Structure 1
Amino acid sequence: MARLAGVAVSTVSYVVNGTGQVSAETRLKVASAIDAVQYEPNLLARNLKAGRAASIGLIAPDLLNPYFASVAAGVQDVAQSRDLLLVLCTTQSTPRWEDYYSQVLRARRVDGLIFLSGSGMLTPSIVELLQKDSVVLVDERLPDLAVPTVTATNLAGARSVAEHVLAHGHRRIGIISGPPSLWTASQRMEGYQEALAARGIDPGAALVATGDYRQDSGYEGARLLLDRPKSDRPTALICANDLMAVGAMLYCRDTGLRIPHDISLCGFDNIPLAGLIEPGLTSVDQCGRSLGKAACRLLLRLISPQEDDTDSIDLDYPTRLVIRASVGPPPQ
């Protein structure tokens, strides 16, 4: 390529790596030669030569949930900007696959790992991984382990959406919660309960169905809570994520319940679908892509303390209530 451009090899290196002083004319010659030979830089070799991480792993429950996909997109944004290979493994929220991929990625010697736990369970391999390797958790905390973590203010967000429902006059509240083993689910439940208690409502009086953050469990949870006489059923459903809220919406559609005239409904995550369905779903935005970016930048600092990213990194991202048309006053 240097011969084709009529320049020294070092000059080509300056142009490819963006270093050194090269005139505009020479840069154009090298660029033309690159196009002619269809050259692609060896990013792995460049990273190794620079002493930087060559690859990082991401363990996530799945990418069918748009929130997890947005976190993964944020991780990819930063990894791509640093010429890093991102190895993605999805676990379907099962401890077996979380354990398996933690072993696989350690054996592959990735330089660091970002972990979104879908189960909240700790297997021996996961404990070893968290204690010995460069790992960052995203929006989840695991008991008795001090691991660098980037989270959203789940409790405050849940409290804000419950307060919004209560402000409309609802007193018979149904909750479709997330998996009890997950920190996010327990934080959101605590936020709902705080809002109820502040209004003088016994938190234990709320009807609760346990979901798994998937759409089908929202449908089933709505069936359990709403398939009862009108005088006994909740006038509002608070769902611990948007996919379960969508499932609850489908149950309401199938049974002729109108939202929000017969039943009010809200979610959590503010996935893109929340603003597209009719009526629009009131939800809590927790900036999944920003969490992913922050987690990746934090991981790079753990891997290389000399990492040239000097900007501050938020470790606790504020949530934001997004009000749409799915919440109204209770039916008369």
Structure 2
Amino acid sequence: MVTIYDIAKKAGCSSSTVSKALNNSSTISKKRKEEIIAIAKLMGYVPNSNARQLATKNSWSIGILFSEDLNIGLEHHFFGGVLEAFKTYVEDLGYEVTFVSKKVGHQSLSYLEWCKYKNVDGVFIVTVDVDDVNLKELTESGIPIVTVDNGVLNVPTIISDNYQGTRMVLNYLRLKGAKNIAHIAGPMRSFAAQERIDAYRDVLTKAGVEIDEKLIIEANNYDFNSGKNALYQLVSQYGGVPDAIYAASDDIALGAIRALKELGYKVPEDVCVVGFDNIELTKYTSPALTTIAQDKVKIGREAAKHLIALINHEIESTPGIVKRVPVELVIRESTK
């Protein structure tokens, strides 16, 4: 069985330095920490959870809150990718992840009761119904918590730079000559949707463009059918088609393109369409979709780093957005 002394010998350092690296201490450099962790993995080191709990008073367990109530599964291209990056990062440090539930056996529990029962060191909220009565109790409990894509909860949040992405889209479309740019927004229960529609209004206003409310439609959800239905509503409300459409998600954009084709319009010849997410499918659609790429891996890793720092008492919990992750405009056929 590989011990920290074996790792120390291989790494050319003391056993205490190895222990600090494996416990993600901030007292050694990031480079050295990564070197030691890499050596430990190569040697097949498996930490003794009982010994670690005695030494650190931590359970080395993190709860994942991924609500089933929102009809968002683990295969979701954005949230699933964020979760995978988070999980990889914390597991490399020796943490176990477990999904928060409202039940233990046949007994119903609140989120907080479950977290106390499982003695988790922290909680990563991936998706959640913000109106859930159990949520406030959890977020006010003092347990280290981080979330993503949500500025409503009173906890630290990592989020894509929605303003930057919206500005990129609108500036690009205006440079291409588009004068009437519609926005198919996501549902307003989504914080990201609120940020993107606010950015749409702000960017155009600052450019001296008067906002035409007939060019704004709220989709019921972020999916294909919602985008398709929203396009029909837009055409009816506006009395025709605009020069370009900025959709709050790729699925909404693809649904809108389908509806445009059914109405006899060509993309991009008649209407340019831009999405948001950069899901894998957008490379292969006809036309391939111009979109804003979100860095799912970066968001997941930043969330993990922040939560670990909270668990280790290296930083204090600051409610609200603690980091905005840059996005990128990916230009494809739907705007050429």
**Bin of the TM-score, shorter chain as denominator length:** 0.7 to 0.9
- The offset of 1:302, in angstroms, is 0.8
**Across the two proteins, how many residue pairs are aligned to each other?**
284
Show the 5 A alignment for 1:58-97.
58-60=64-66, 61-88=72-99
Change (3 A) 1:163 1:100: farther
One-letter identity of the residue aligned with 2:234? L
Q: Counterpart in 1 of 2:123?
A: 113
The two structures, once aligned, show a CA RMSD in angstroms of: 3.1
Q: Counterpart in 2 of 1:217?
A: 226
Structure 2 gaps of 5+ residues are 11-43, 67-71, 103-108, 316-321
Q: Counterpart in 1 of 2:309?
A: 301
Show the 5 A alignment for 1:1-332.
12-14=1-3, 18-21=6-9, 41=46, 44-45=49-50, 47-51=52-56, 52-60=58-66, 61-88=72-99, 104-117=114-127, 119=129, 121-132=130-141, 133-142=143-152, 145=154, 147-211=155-219, 212-226=221-235, 232-305=240-313, 315-328=323-336
CA contact (8 A) 1:53 1:303 kept: no
- The offset of 1:252, in angstroms, is 2.9
One-letter identity of the residue aligned with 2:82? V
Structure 1 gaps of 5+ residues are 1-11, 23-38, 92-98, 308-313
Q: CA offsets per residue over residues 248-267 of structure 1, 9 Å max, x none?
A: 22323444432111221111
SS at match of 1:110: coil
Q: CA offsets per residue over residues 273-297 of structure 1, 9 Å max, x none?
A: 2223232211112211111111011
* Structure-2 separation of matches of 1:115 and 1:225: 34
* Structure-2 separation of matches of 1:156 and 1:284: 10
* Structure-2 separation of matches of 1:100 and 1:205: 42
Please tell me whether Structure 1 or Structure 2 has the larger radius of gyration of its CA atoms.
1
CA contact (8 A) 1:172 1:206 kept: no
CA contact (8 A) 1:78 1:296 kept: yes
Q: Percent identity?
A: 24
With normalisation by structure 1, the TM-score equals: 0.74
* Structure-2 separation of matches of 1:47 and 1:57: 18
CA contact (8 A) 1:102 1:125 kept: yes
CA contact (8 A) 2:101 2:114 kept: no
CA contact (8 A) 1:242 1:274 kept: yes
Q: CA offsets per residue over residues 181-224 of structure 1, 9 Å max, x none?
A: 22211111111112322343222345222122222211211222
Change (3 A) 1:164 1:20: closer
One-letter identity of the residue aligned with 2:288? G
